[in-house]
Amino acid sequence: MNPTGESNRSDPGPQSANASADVVPQRRAQQDPAWVRWFLTLAAVFVLTIFVVVPVIAVFYEAFSRGARVYFENLLDPDTRHAVLLTLTVAPCAVLFNLVFGVAAAWAIARFRFRGRTLLITMIDIPFSISPVVVGLMFVLLFGLGGFFGPWLRSHGIQILFSTPGLILATTFVTLPFVARELIPVMEAIGPDEELAALSLGANGRQIFWRITLPNIRWGLLYGVILCNARAMGEFGAVYVVSGHISGQTNTMPLHIEQLFQGFNSPGAFAVASVLTMLAVVTLLLKVFVERKARQTVLEAAKE
């Protein structure tokens, strides 16, 4: 019997609950009854299984439903190969641009105080909240034939829409916040002390960045790049609008999946989907690893 149980006797509250509280040691105030734990754990595992585990298994099951030979034939199809190549061109470009942007924005926001700083942080979030289709539409309005820069671009023979530059632009827009959003809190947590020390010892800006800042933020940076890359490779809506879906020319992997699916080539669609799923799984593994490293750097900085 524990004393808290005794003092409750006068309470007109739920008697049955008090009865069980008597048996539970005081230190376990946070502990739920066993049946609640079992029920909730099973429910959570069930939800994750239905929503995540089964779909991932289904992707590979469907991809191999006609046998391994058909699977590899589907992957080696020229249009599919082109889609893979295009995705591997567009995504790294978008990531690179947003990497440079993220570092610049994080340096400005985490190391200086200026008017409109909060507004700037909010502006970086804008791409997260706009529907990808609207993003694509905006680029069509700018670079399409009837668009603002359309006539000028055409007279100079520059193609942006329905070609790789348009895909890169749209993807860069959609993935713009990822690196900056990761870096700002990391740089704020680490603080400017080491950089200030370097400055007082006579280092110039470049030396400070390459020798102090970059080594400090490298894991946070990598984390942002991984997230950015995953989204860039999977981007659909914005790219769908600007690409014109020309098979073998402007189809990225997600667009190619849609085209195969519309053409009732389900095994083909799932074969491409299986590649993207593997990429997603690799992304997750990298993420777990890098996340741990990133947390360590911030904790170490906090200790010092």
Partner 1 sequence: MVNRRVLPGYRLSITFTLAYLSVLVLIPLAACLVTAGSLSWSQFVAAVWTPRARAAYSLTFGAAFAAATISTILGLLIAWVLVRYDFPLKRFFDSLVDLPFALPTAVAGLVFSTLYVPNGWFGQFLVPLGIEGAYSRLGIVIVLVFIGFPFVVRTVQPVLESLDKESEEASACLGASRWQTFRRILLPALYPALITGFALSFARALGEYGSVIFVSGNMPFRTEIAPVLIVAKLEEFNYVEATAMAVVLLSFSFVMLIVINLLERWSKLDR
Site for partner 1 in 237-266 (CB under 8 A): 237, 240-241, 253-255, 257-258, 261, 266
Q: Give, as ranges, the residues between 98 and 117 that touch partner 1 (CB under 8 A).
A: 100-101, 104-105, 107-108, 111-114
Tell me the two tokens of residue 208.
Answer: 């400070």
**Residues 272, 83 contacting (CB under 8 angstroms):** yes
| Distance separating alpha carbons of residues 124 and 127, to the nearest angstrom | 7
Q: How far is the CB of 78 from partner 1 (least distance, A)?
A: 20
Stretch binding partner 1 (CB under 8 A), from 73-81, 217-225, 227-235, 292-300: 227-235
| Distance separating alpha carbons of residues 241 and 39, to the nearest angstrom | 45
Q: Of 1 and 29, which CB lies nearer to partner 1 in the complex structure?
A: 29
Q: Give, as ranges, the residues between 142 and 171 that touch partner 1 (CB under 8 A).
A: 142, 144, 146-148, 169
| Distance separating alpha carbons of residues 127 and 129, to the nearest angstrom | 5
Stretch binding partner 1 (CB under 8 A), from 7-15, 66-74, 157-165, 295-303: 7-15
Among 76, 88, 133, 197, binds partner 1 (CB under 8 A): 133
Q: Give, as ranges, the residues between 55 and 84 that touch partner 1 (CB under 8 A).
A: 55-56, 58-59, 62
CA distances from 209 to 103, 179, 190, 192, 277 (A): 10, 17, 14, 12, 36
**Residues 169, 160 contacting (CB under 8 angstroms):** yes
Q: How far is the CB of 248 from partner 1 (least distance, A)?
A: 18
Tell me the two tokens of residue 124.
Answer: 């970086």
Stretch binding partner 1 (CB under 8 A), from 8-16, 77-85, 153-161, 292-300: 8-16
Q: Give, as ranges, the residues between 263 and 302 that touch partner 1 (CB under 8 A).
A: 266, 269-270, 273, 276-277, 280-281, 283-284, 287-288
| Distance separating alpha carbons of residues 302 and 283, to the nearest angstrom | 28
The DSSP result for 268-303, as a single string, is: HHHHHHHHHHHHHHHHHHHHHHHHHHHHHHHHHHHH
> Around Cβ 196, how many Cβ atoms within 10 Å?
13
User: Mask: binding to partner 1, 179-218, rule CB under 8 A, as x and -?
Assistant: -------------x--xx--x----xx--xx---------
Q: How far is the CB of 217 from partner 1 (least distance, A)?
A: 14
Residue 245's SS3 state is coil
Q: How far is the CB of 263 from partner 1 (least distance, A)?
A: 13
Q: How far is the CB of 148 from partner 1 (least distance, A)?
A: 6
